Amino acid sequence: MIETRSMRFVGQTCLVTGGSRGLGLAVARDFVKEGGRVIIVGRDTAQLLKAREQLGSQNLAIEADVSTQAGINRVAEALRTSVEKLDVVFLNAGAGGFRPLKQMDEATWDRVFDLNLKRAYFLLKELYPQVSRGGAVVLCGSAAGRIANGSGLGAYGTSKAALEYLTRVLAAEFVADGIRVNIVIPGGMDTDFGERTIGMTREASDALRERIKSQVPLRREGQPEEVSNAVLFLASKEASYITGQSLVVDGGLTSFTYQGK
């Protein structure tokens, strides 16, 4: 069982895509801790079942690949038959694809943009009728969309930069219905993202993480729980006067260059 703490989401239904591991699971846990009912979406059956066991049987898990329209339709249909409304949507599913221009291929470019941008947009189109007035949408960007601090970020970084712009567009479109849209911008996180999404070896992933960590002024990786704190703030009534904004959680990475002592 998950212990409870402050109860900002009692009586609310919170959807988390990419919710079976890493940052998504951390956010889902925190919603539950604060009284919310959670629906997680993922494509790995075993990982989904494991995550749901951690969250508690009152919460739901939907197996779907939201990188496809069929997967998006499956999520939308499952929600229509299982919940009356959504109070919070956290779109966390994403794809990596770190290759310099000389090594980039069209299939990788399309895969990254498809999941990170296109499918997020069309998933929200399907979910919009169920998001309650006064509800909140939080997208997940990346510091890679703000700073070109290494080669190979053409597809991933550009897709995340576009997602940050899209956040402001959607905030303007949704405001008439009282729905807030914001984005959290993590950087240098302690997760298995590289290994899991782009097939990096453990050694290559560790090397990339060490390189990024050396550029972070706070000299460490961020923990999923630290980003989750930002997501829950943006999703809560505490942020009721905030929409169309980006909340950066990156240890100073995109703000200034660490000079050392």
Catalytic annotation, pick one of 121, 128, 156, 258: 156
d(CA 121, CA 117): 6
User: DSSP states of the chain as a string?
Assistant: -PPP-S-TTTT-EEEEETTTSHHHHHHHHHHHHTT-EEEEEES-HHHHHHHHHHH-TTSEEEE--TTSHHHHHHHHHHHHHH-S-EEEEEE---------GGG--HHHHHHHHIIIIIHHHHHHHHHGGGEEEEEEEEEE--GGGT---STT-HHHHHHHHHHHHHHHHHHHHHGGGT-EEEEEEE-SBSS-HHHHHH---HHHHHHHHHHHHHH-TTSSPBPHHHHHHHHHHHHSGGGTT--S-EEEESTTTTT------
The number of angstroms, rounded, from the C-alpha of 227 to the middle of its chain's C-alpha atoms is 10
On whether the CB atoms of residues 8 and 34 are closer than 8 A, the answer is yes
The total number of residues written for the chain in this structure: 261
Is position 156 annotated as part of the catalytic site?
Answer: yes
Six-digit token pair at 167?
A: 């956040």
Residue that the structure tokens 């925190």 belong to: 30
So which residues are the catalytic ones? 156
